[in-house]
Structure 1
């Protein structure tokens, strides 16, 4: 059915690049990866992580370093919604040690910070604020290995990174070919200790990726193919992982869903949900990205469904069965999506997270002014006017009317 929304005369770019090792025990691949890096002359690396989660695999990583005579410096102060200041600190550490490659250990925040550091290590004279205010276009970065510890962002296989500029309340995104990780490790056994809320939020991030990637003006048959499978896998396996966090099969398929969702938006790109969430967590750095997305995606679907009814009816069918691809179903589709989010335990709306009518104008301005978000807004299947953006934020203050 989605074929009705796809133009065969619009040439699409199909991307797959990173070598990703997926499966229980994939962490053991760190040994041949370090052997490869050492053979290429990278004998000192910068390790980027959060304060504690890296310990789930640190013993094997350290042993691989030792076995292949790779020394390291470790920056372990990355927080959720990482900042340009943290990136600059990591880069300073790398330069002092003369590191020539980067190993990221963690979820989206450490990997995105590591990608940013990898660019700056190869581009002296610039800092992270320059990078995220788009003051230069990097063409090279230090080689990067991503050991992924969450099943949501897909950043381990794509060319995107997000870092905040706190004094401006900006949360821009960058996308450059030079920051595809050289290797990625997706091992579900490293994710069984994820707390329930983080399990929910990262999985919802993956669903958001494909709702957008299948409906941008750049969406392709490839991004649509990956989108429905992502939603099917998350709908089936998220409840299992919430019931039993140690269920390796559930974690595996959530991780696979996250990975293919990363490939989907690397190709189809993103639009309104991410462009409008970034101002939320730019203003509130403690707000989980996946929660921010969950609060606004039903209103996004309500607004874009009439423009992409066939694609959304197919992509959402695992969680919203019965949609026929009629533009008049927009509210029905949005309510079904919100009901599914509530069913997996994500019931908050913006008003419950401290946002009110008085914040809407500021959020609209940030969506329009934050570097790079204009690119996402331009990819929306409906024109991202101030009125559309205001409607999404306003509708998201409370549950949809029934």
Structure 2
């Protein structure tokens, strides 16, 4: 069994920090959350969001009502785009500074949550910019209190210490991880997620699967991360097809929200490695590329590289997708192809060539993996050596379906 491969002489750090409200109607907890913030003397809140979902879902009505009840002022920044930039972080922080806010409320998926977390750092560290933060020019110890109303079932950012933003003029998309940006409270209300489009539903759920495949197989993974990984994949495998067939199925949507939350906690504990390290350059170069789609295109090739180093763990967590595995290293090609076929069966048939990448881009992408701050750390956590040759091979093997 996979657990027998763990070295019990190695001390592992296990993290759970955020108070999360999960379930249909959880949005009503915003009243209690605002009451708690008010008791701390917070009178104004920066609300960071994007698009229209914060209004269309009804979340904003609840937020405004709770703010009015508790006499709190709201400063709304609603310009966050998918794959947020440090420019957006700076703009949100400037608005919050002008309004004299004492906390940050993020409403949306990973992009608004990550932007809001980053703005919370800048608001507590005057004189610093988004580029300073994402180019590692300082190490923040403090941030304003953060609350996250999550509108997708994929990112996991509502329960962990991670955030991502793109430094546009450098094509860098680094990740940061600081204890000061754990959200104090998170809301995972599946009723707020029922309007996700079919593709959004696919991509965010696949993001959650990638989180746990990586978190369970890093060099610093722990048993808690592996347990969360197995349950996450079981729930996504069972419920993603149900949701694609019946988008208003709140039972299935609840299970996917729970899976994504667990996945966020899993990579908070086990970290990430090659799939995310190689995807960030893709969506930095092409900001319109969905992060989840980028991960889906890379995942089979990453599994083929990593399976021989963690066969028992991957056989255990991938059991719903690829039953009957014995956990032997030579199963790697079979597992990689089975995962690719599972993705194709969900309607995610694109590979890198379909979204505009080709052989000529491989060297540039490898350069970005090597130069982008933080990605070298992710690569170093892979269960196999993340040298340039291997990174290039993963990109090349992701240009078209595996053979």
TM-score (norm 2): 0.99
Whole-angstrom distance in 2 between the partners of 1:241 and 1:135? 43
Question: Aligned ranges for residues 2-401 of structure 1 at < 5 Å?
Answer: 2-55=2-55, 56=57, 57-401=59-403
Deviations 1:14-39 (A, max 9, x none): 00000000000000000000000011
Deviations 1:69-123 (A, max 9, x none): 1101100000000000011011111111111100110000000000000000000
Whole-angstrom distance in 1 between the partners of 2:128 and 2:343? 42
Conserved? CA contact 1:144–1:181, under 8 Å: yes
Whole-angstrom distance in 2 between the partners of 1:319 and 1:121? 44
- Count of residue pairs brought into register by the alignment: 401
Structure 1 position 259, deviation (Å): 0.2
Conserved? CA contact 1:18–1:182, under 8 Å: yes
Structure 1 position 6, deviation (Å): 1.6
SS of equivalent residue, structure 1 residue 87: helix
Deviations 1:328-365 (A, max 9, x none): 00000101110110111100000111000000000001
Whole-angstrom distance in 1 between the partners of 2:295 and 2:51? 25
Whole-angstrom distance in 1 between the partners of 2:231 and 2:51? 34
Deviations 1:359-397 (A, max 9, x none): 000000101110011110110000100010011000000
SS of equivalent residue, structure 1 residue 174: strand
Whole-angstrom distance in 1 between the partners of 2:280 and 2:4? 32
Whole-angstrom distance in 2 between the partners of 1:5 and 1:338? 27
Deviations 1:30-84 (A, max 9, x none): 0000000011011001000002111121111100000001101100000000000
Whole-angstrom distance in 2 between the partners of 1:72 and 1:61? 9
Deviations 1:302-352 (A, max 9, x none): 000000000000110000111110000000010111011011110000011
Conserved? CA contact 1:119–1:179, under 8 Å: yes
SS of equivalent residue, structure 1 residue 305: helix
Conserved? CA contact 1:5–1:308, under 8 Å: no
Conserved? CA contact 1:212–1:270, under 8 Å: yes
Structure 1 position 236, deviation (Å): 0.1
Conserved? CA contact 1:4–1:310, under 8 Å: no
Whole-angstrom distance in 2 between the partners of 1:49 and 1:10? 41
SS of equivalent residue, structure 2 residue 308: coil
Whole-angstrom distance in 1 between the partners of 2:149 and 2:211? 20
Whole-angstrom distance in 2 between the partners of 1:63 and 1:346? 40
Whole-angstrom distance in 2 between the partners of 1:212 and 1:9? 22
Whole-angstrom distance in 2 between the partners of 1:201 and 1:343? 13
Structure 1 position 4, deviation (Å): 3.5
